[in-house]
Amino acid sequence: MKWIKNYKKKSKDCVFCKIANKKEKALVLKEGDVYVIMNKFPYNTGHLLIFPRRHVKDFDELSKDELKKLFTITQKAIKLLKKTLKPKGFNIGINIGEVASASVEHIHIHVVPRFGADAGFMEIFDSTKVMPEPLEKTYKKLKKFSCLLE
């Protein structure tokens, strides 16, 4: 609810730039030219966000090097999630522009692990997402093997 209530109250500062400049706390798994963080408002357990350090709003603004690094790290993030959480599949997406549900104007990739039973009664009938474990617990599992992101 926190994200939904504050959606229209956009900050003048980009949240990903604030994370990269250590002005915003995040569950960071990798930092550098490309960041991997846990989504504080996940669609599912282990939902990761991958973004370049440089503030880029659109896909075609990425350099070839940034593009290569983003997708290389995305591949490594999938391996990390497979090793630690053992999902059955993934949703991987990039939303560009507000009409495409991009709530942050800094290019980023969503990696959402999917599990056999990740949609239950609450999700289907009450439009509510139930997370099976706290973010911090999932973060500790992923952080233990974050060397896979190097």
Average pLDDT over residues 55-83: 96
d(CA 28, CA 59): 23
In contact, 146 and 81? CB cutoff 8 Å: no
Separation of CA 118 from chain center: 18
Each domain of the chain, given as residue ranges in start order, spans: 28-149
The mean pLDDT of the chain is: 87
Answer yes or no: CATH 3.40.50.1980 is held by domain 28-149: no
DSSP state of 39: -
Annotation says 108 is catalytic: yes
In contact, 109 and 92? CB cutoff 8 Å: yes
Q: How far apart are the first and last CA of the chain?
A: 34
In tens, the pLDDT along 6-62 reads 555 555 689 999 999 999 999 999 999 999 999 998 989 999 999 999 999 999 999
Pick the catalytic residue from 47, 55, 106, 108: 108
pTM to 2 decimal places: 0.85
Integer angstrom CA distances of residue 142 from 61, 74, 137: 30, 14, 9
- Considering 6-15, 110-119, 141-150, the range whose residues carry the highest mean pLDDT is 141-150
